[in-house]
Amino acid sequence: MRTATRNVYRQGLEAVLQYVLAHLDEELDAQTLADQACFSTFHFHRIFRGMMGESVGEFVRRVRLERAAWRLANGARVTETAFEAGFESHEAFTRAFRAAFNVPPSRIKRANTRFFALPTPNGVHYDPSGLFFVLRELREVSDMNVEIRSQDPFRTACIRHTGPYWMIGPAFGRLRGWAAANGIPWSTTLAIYHDNPEITPPDQLRSDACLIVPSDFQTDDPGVHILDIPGGEYAVATHIGAYDGLPTAWNKFMGEWLPNSGREIGRGYCFEVYVDDCETTAVEQLRTELYEPLKTERSKDLDPETPESSPGSLSPR
């Protein structure tokens, strides 16, 4: 089962690569690419970056530049090539090309090689002779602490933040003030991120700063909404350190650990639980738990390597 599931992720990724390489002259949006892989748009960018070592946008831009170099070396005009590569101006293309190849586009026409490969961790390049790629093998993640937990459902009171995800801090400040004013104990807090930052403008990203409350809790405060988190099996990764390391942790979790785990993404919310208080804990010791819901259908007899589920409870402390 573990190998079969790993192949599902790899096949989905290869389908995306084939599509991109066959449609380089077209607008490539994240929804279309996620559909090729049969992933949700929310999870797609993390899985792609984790498995490929670069984002979807970085991959498309690099391959288009590789194709541009080949076309220039074979007599194409710079302006025409710039537009084919998705640049709006000759100047912007020249800057990007020089940064990538260390020479201006005009110098490529005198190059001795006819294959131009920019550095990449995944081995996927543009080849005018046909579509080809040599994907790196999926690596086991030895330095990531992940366990499977059976989580009970729970209720949260939330304040919405709209804007860059890293700016959610003030929303937690307002949530703490609201809790104190209403006599609500300050207990376990978490953040839920609703949008894919690869396709959603930063000023439109939606996230919730959440406080776990009793299951029967209600409020009529228009600035606070209730969000019920479903129970079930979750993969839980622990990140230790500063919060600015969380994006990298998520990419490793989703793009390396998950494809190797023998498990598939389930329905529900993925979220971050802040185990330690950042005001009283040293930055390098801060613990954050990353929760990803899993599909529950599985056969442990077929997948003896999958760890047993451990019970989990995020009820108010």
pLDDT in tens, 270-286: 999 999 988 899 999 99
Residues 86 and 164 in one domain: no
* Ranges 148-152, 161-165, 192-196, 237-241: which has the least confidence: 192-196
Residues 74 and 168 in one domain: no
- Inform me whether the pLDDT recorded for 303 exceeds 70: no
Which DSSP category does 197 fall into?
Answer: T
Segment 200-220 mean pLDDT: 95
Q: Which domain holds residue 226?
A: 145-312
- Inform me whether the pLDDT recorded for 301 exceeds 70: no
Determine the pLDDT at residue 140: 55
Residues 165 and 302 in one domain: yes
288: β partners? 239, 274
Determine the pLDDT at residue 164: 94
Residues 168 and 221 in one domain: yes
Tally the domains of the chain: 2
Residues 198 and 299 in one domain: yes
Residues 56 and 150 in one domain: no
Percent pLDDT > 90 in the chain is: 46
| Domain-ending residue, one of 108, 130, 162 | 108
Determine the pLDDT at residue 282: 95
Does 119 map to a domain? Answer: no
Determine the pLDDT at residue 139: 54
Separation of alpha carbons 55 and 39, rounded Å: 15
Q: What is the CATH number of the domain that holds 44?
A: 1.10.10.60
Residues 95 and 188 in one domain: no
| pLDDT interval class at 114 (50, 70, 90) | low
Does 53 map to a domain? Answer: yes
| pLDDT interval class at 115 (50, 70, 90) | low
For the CA atoms of 217, 168, 50, 254, the dihedral, rounded to the nearest 10 degrees, stands at -10
pTM: 0.77
Per the rule left: phi > 0, alpha: psi between -120 and 50, beta: everything else, 232 is left
- Inform me whether the pLDDT recorded for 155 exceeds 70: yes
Residues 168 and 306 in one domain: yes
* 8 token code pair: 């599902």
Segment 185-203 mean pLDDT: 89
- Inform me whether the pLDDT recorded for 171 exceeds 90: yes
**Mean per-residue pLDDT of the chain:** 85
Query: What's the 3-state SS for 89-141?
Result: CHHHHHHHHHHHHCCCHHHHCCCCCCCCCCCCCCCECCCCCCCCECCCCCCCC
Residues 183 and 288 in one domain: yes
Segment 312-317 mean pLDDT: 57
pLDDT top residue among 222 and 48 = 222
Residues 94 and 24 in one domain: yes
Residues 298 and 149 in one domain: yes
| pLDDT interval class at 308 (50, 70, 90) | very low
Determine the pLDDT at residue 4: 61
Does 100 map to a domain? Answer: yes
Residues 44 and 97 in one domain: yes
β-pairing verdict for 310-312 and 145-151: parallel
How many of the other CB atoms lie within 10 Å of CB of 124?
25
How many residues does this entry show for the chain? 317
* 224 token code pair: 């606070």
* 213 token code pair: 């409350």
